[in-house]
Amino acid sequence: MEKDLVEESRRVAEKIVKGELRLAMAKNYLLSSTFPLVLYALSYFDPWHPVLNFLAVLIGYFYYDIKAFAHFSRAISRIMGKEKAKNMVINRRNIISLLWWEISMIVLGVGVYYRDLSLVLIALSSFAVYFALVVYYLFKDNLASEDKFFDLRYYDLLAWSVLVGTLVYIGFSYSLHMTRPPEIAWIPYTLAWVYAGYASFMEVIEGE
């Protein structure tokens, strides 16, 4: 009887945590889908400082990412305790992951602006290693742990694959062809991330 109660409590906690994480991801997907629009709008009003514009927008979105997942961490604290939340969210691997992503984006932005192919290739290689490690650890954690708090969905893979493809296209367009890719180059990214955000929200709603 006691074992059944423990198992049921674990399942309930797992469901709540999954919902909170998916909700945080949904918000992140939808907000991040506006990144190109905000960047182009800022560049329109201030075309003289493209690198500063890029960094300003990147820092703004980075701040929101931290804020969104801090909210997720607080939710986990209420459900499973502060120690568990710290181990799940504010751990060394997640911090390194965030910094890795932001530094790679900065290197790509600088490489694109100065049309430096070596910087672009470094950034794209960094992204490739980053995504390979993310997928590896996601599968590893899900196989090794009894508590499976994240389910990798097809729309997660779609969103991130389209993002990588967009970054590769834009990086090479700037550095090899010396031309600015059209604004429509960002449309697949925006659509994919809006869809991932919508699908994530629907997953949370249907799971309640």
The answer on pLDDT for 126 being more than 60 is yes
For residues 100 and 130, is the Cβ–Cβ distance under 8 A? Answer: yes
Mean pLDDT (whole number) for 60-78 = 72
Spatial distance between the Cα atoms of 167 and 186, rounded to a whole number of angstroms = 9
User: What's the total number of domains in the chain?
Assistant: 1
For residues 155 and 195, is the Cβ–Cβ distance under 8 A? Answer: yes
Which comes out higher in pLDDT, residue 43 or 180?
43
Mean pLDDT (whole number) for 58-74 = 75
The answer on pLDDT for 43 being more than 80 is no
pLDDT in tens, 165-174: 887 777 777 6
Q: Which domain holds residue 148?
A: 2-207
The answer on pLDDT for 76 being more than 70 is no
pLDDT in tens, 2-15: 555 556 666 666 67
pLDDT band at 108 (very low <50, low <70, confident <90, very high): confident
Spatial distance between the Cα atoms of 49 and 194, rounded to a whole number of angstroms = 28
Lowest mean pLDDT of 11-15, 26-30, 108-112, name the range: 11-15
Percent of the chain with pLDDT over 70: 70
Whole-number average pLDDT of the chain: 75
Cα torsion for 96, 175, 64, 136, to the nearest 10°?
-40
| Tokens standing for residue 101 | 């992503």
Which comes out higher in pLDDT, residue 32 or 132?
32
Residue-level pLDDT at 191: 93
Residues in the chain: 208
67: left (phi over 0), alpha (psi -120 to 50) or beta: alpha
Residue-level pLDDT at 192: 93
Neighbours of 141 (CB within 10 A): 14
pLDDT in tens, 146-182: 555 567 788 888 888 888 888 777 777 766 665 566 6
Spatial distance between the Cα atoms of 151 and 15, rounded to a whole number of angstroms = 11
The answer on pLDDT for 47 being more than 60 is yes
